[in-house]
Amino acid sequence: MKLTIHHLYANMMNLYGDRGNVISIKKRCEWRGIAVEVVDVDLGEKIRPTGCDIFLFGGGQDREQALLVEDLSGSKGADLRAIADDGGVILGVCGGYQLMGHSYETPEGDRLSGVGIFDLRTEPRKPHEERLIGNVIVRVGLPDGSERELVGFENHGGRTRLGDVEPLGYVVLGHGNNGEDGTEGARRDNCYGTYLHGSLLPKNPWFTDLLIESAIRRVDDSFKLEPLDDSAEQAAFAAAVERARGRR
């Protein structure tokens, strides 16, 4: 069994080092002896699922987002919706997250069509409003009733409004989707969207492992990911949370 990481628009949508998300998944698989391959999926290239996959869609400025909207409007967007509907594991960060919704409108009034995986829309900030920037801590509720925290940082102008979709979690510190309703990100089945850069996954090893286990369970539903002796990563996570708490 091999896990394939599909890195969507790897060179265009890699704001604030979101490529670190690919590295984190790869390393946490390799440390466990799980075979893993990274496939970059650029403009005009078809998505080729293998059955054991994680799809990553990183952040990007308005310009990059506009450049890839046409590519998403065709079969690639339909393929991503089908993957999402079938329980595929997809993580979108910031600009990638915004385009997993119905639309993203730029401050110039250009309405970019999204893929429609999440029932949400992103509007531009009003002229008097600032970009939403800073450290973020998010409280995430898990299916077993437990709660975990995610830590990262955000830097976005867009204000995301959720429709009929669950948030990824609720803001403990920072702004989140729109700086008003306390929600951060979105979640639907094994699809996740978030504004957290960091990059996100190296800072939050528990979430990396959740994505890996979810992807492998699609081919082996009894699979259980063995814990890692990653005390250094866990210490780094705790330190990042404390730093974020200390610097509002």
Residues at the site binding ligand GLN, with contacts judged by CB under 6 A: 15, 59-62, 65, 94-95, 98, 155-158
The two tokens of residue 155 are 């830097």
Q: Which residue number, 95 or 193, has a Cβ lying nearer to ligand GLN? A: 95
Q: Which residue number, 61 or 73, has a Cβ lying nearer to ligand GLN? A: 61
Q: In angstroms, give the least distance from the CB of 109 to ligand GLN.
A: 14
CB contact set of 127 (below 8 Å; sequence gap of 6+):
none
Residue holding tokens 């704001």?
Answer: 15
E-assigned strands of 10-87?
35-41, 53-57
Length of the chain: 248
**In this chain, which residue has its C-beta nearest to ligand GLN?**
59
The two tokens of residue 120 are 């949400």
Q: Which residue number, 85 or 110, has a Cβ lying nearer to ligand GLN? A: 110
Active-site positions read 94, 197
Q: In angstroms, give the least distance from the CB of 94 to ligand GLN.
A: 3
Q: In angstroms, give the least distance from the CB of 96 to ligand GLN.
A: 7
Q: What is the rounded end-to-end Cα distance, in angstroms, of the chain? A: 44
Q: Which of 72, 68, 51, 29 is nearest to 211 (CA)?
A: 29
Cα separation, 6 vs 42, in Å, equals 10
Determine the number of helices (DSSP H) and then strands (DSSP E) in the chain: 7, 14
187 appears as a binding residue in the annotation: no
Q: Which residue number, 94 or 162, has a Cβ lying nearer to ligand GLN? A: 94
Q: In angstroms, give the least distance from the CB of 77 to ligand GLN.
A: 18
Annotated binding site: 131
Annotated binding site for substrate: 131
